[in-house]
Amino acid sequence: MRPAMLAASNYRADGIPARFGDTDPHGWEGLTPASLPVHGIDAARYQGEIDWHRARGAGVSFAWLKATEGGDHSDPGFRVNAALARGAGVPVGAYHFYYFCRSPEEQARWYIRNVPRRAGDLPPVLDIEWNHTSPSCRRRPAAREVRAEMRRFLAIVNEHYGTRPVIYTTVDFWRDNGLEQFQGYEFWLRSVAGHPMERYPGAQWSFWQYSGTGVVPGVPGTVDMNAFAGSPGAWEGWLARRAQRG
């Protein structure tokens, strides 16, 4: 069933941009998401078909969509929403949700099979986190092995798309696996109860996922909201450097 379209004006929240809303807002203080000017979303099939022209008009400057998981699952929302986002002029990319019971090589090949290389698209994303609810995979490798698997996946994807993927992760996964040691890649960090500088001390990051319960015009139901770590000019420069070349 398609989720209902919510009105952002009914869910205004301190600390997030006034054009958006949040159904379960954090009590933001100090460095808030609203202090950053460039915002975007990430979505999956659960959001259904997004009105990208409306979302762009509300200030959605970028989007990553779930494309694949493991070695045999693809998200049907990617093909629908990626094309619509491009048509509306919203830079869009695809993320892969990592599954610890498949090899990184198999997962990289699956992602490549399902995500065409397209000029102008955002870099690929490796979404790697502990999946506490997985009914089929309880494997939790040691930190050194986790980092080795990440490098194997990222190297294959990097070679195919000609650009280094972005890495999305969570506070506990970062801590458990010593990802402060992981050099040479940009990070997209989840932190819904504090600024990344509080939750990831010393980390360098390019994107911040600050809510999983956002309300954004044009997006049915709730959606993850994100901010870019820089000015609009820095965002344009980042796109010019990091968008895929085709």
Which is the catalytic residue, given 49, 105, 106, 129?
129
Does residue 159 have an active-site annotation?
A: no
Spatial CA neighbour of 216 closest among 85, 120, 80, 35: 85
d(CA 228, CA 58): 16
- The residues, any chain, with a CB within 8 Å of residue 6's CB and separated by 6 or more, are 21, 23, 215, 220, 221, 222
Which is the catalytic residue, given 22, 42, 69, 224?
42
d(CA 19, CA 186): 28
**Helix ranges (DSSP H) in 68-208:** 76-88, 104-114, 143-161, 171-176, 196-199
DSSP for 204-232, written as a single string: --SEEEEEEEEE-TT-BS-EEEEEESS-H
Quick check: helix, strand or coil at residue 68?
strand
Other CB atoms closer than 10 Å to residue 80's CB: what's the count? 15
Does residue 42 have an active-site annotation?
A: yes
- The residues, any chain, with a CB within 8 Å of residue 230's CB and separated by 6 or more, are 36, 38, 238
- Joined together, the tokens standing for residue 64 give 């990553």
Catalytic (active-site) positions = 42, 129
